[in-house]
Structure 1
Amino acid sequence: MRKVRDYDAELKALGDKARAVKAKKVQQLGELVTSTGADALDLDTLAGALLHIVAESEVAENREAWRSDGAAFFQRRGRKAGKGNADNSQGAGETPTGGSQS
């Protein structure tokens, strides 16, 4: 005899998964804003800049330039993260010259 499918449970599981994916996306966007330094902008300026980008995204040349700049940003960040982990043998309050910060 065939097992009866519980459609309600399957829909609930899919809804939970969709919410988790959306939450992860929102978190990653927040991390991106912070890592690029855009969190220093006020919300109106940041929103206006994003609206301009969306309006100009129809031009393929712009998108390709933005894509290559973004790829370069993440490559630099990856190298810095790797270098920082390897060279981070100093104490938290010390400068590279060995003195303490004021």
Structure 2
Amino acid sequence: MRKPRDFDSEMKALNERAKLLKDRKLYQLGELVIATGADSLSVEHLAGALLAVIETKDGATMEGWRKRGAAFFQRTARKSGSNAGHSVGCKPAGHDVAESAAREAGA
């Protein structure tokens, strides 16, 4: 006879995993703001710039920003090559966030 599944504990584990992923995403977004120097902007300026990006429908402009972002991550990954375990400037960590933001902005 098979052991019945414990759906409550599975849901609890999934919710904990989702919270960890959300927390990691927020942390990485904060690192991205600091790494780009955008932390020197006021919150209003930063929010306005992000809203302008989301509202942009011009594909050429979005592609230019994507290329510039990709170059930033390649440059920072080379600078911190000896800190491979450190997430600031590490291409995989920020790359996912930037890529998803670009997809959402393009949608």
Q: Deviations over 1:59-84 (max 9, x none)?
A: 22122111100110011112222379
- CA shift at 1:19, angstroms? 0.2
Separation in 2, partners of 1:14, 1:23: 14
Normalization by structure 2: what TM-score? 0.73
Q: Which amino acid aligns with 1:80?
A: K
Normalization by structure 1: what TM-score? 0.76
Which runs of 5 or more residues in structure 2 are unaligned?
A: 84-107
Separation in 2, partners of 1:83, 1:63: 32
Q: Which amino acid aligns with 2:61?
A: N
Structure 1 residue aligned with 2:15: 15
Percent identity over the alignment is 52
Structure 2 residue aligned with 1:66: 65
**Runs of 4+ with deviation above 2 angstroms:** none
Separation in 1, partners of 2:33, 2:15: 27
Structure 2 residue aligned with 1:34: 34
Higher share of residues assigned helix: 2
Separation in 1, partners of 2:41, 2:30: 13
Q: Deviations over 1:35-86 (max 9, x none)?
A: 0000000101100111011100x222122111100110011112222379xx
Separation in 2, partners of 1:18, 1:78: 27
Q: Which amino acid aligns with 1:70?
A: G
Pairwise CA RMSD of aligned residues?
1.5
Which runs of 5 or more residues in structure 1 are unaligned?
A: 85-102
Q: Which amino acid aligns with 1:82?
A: G
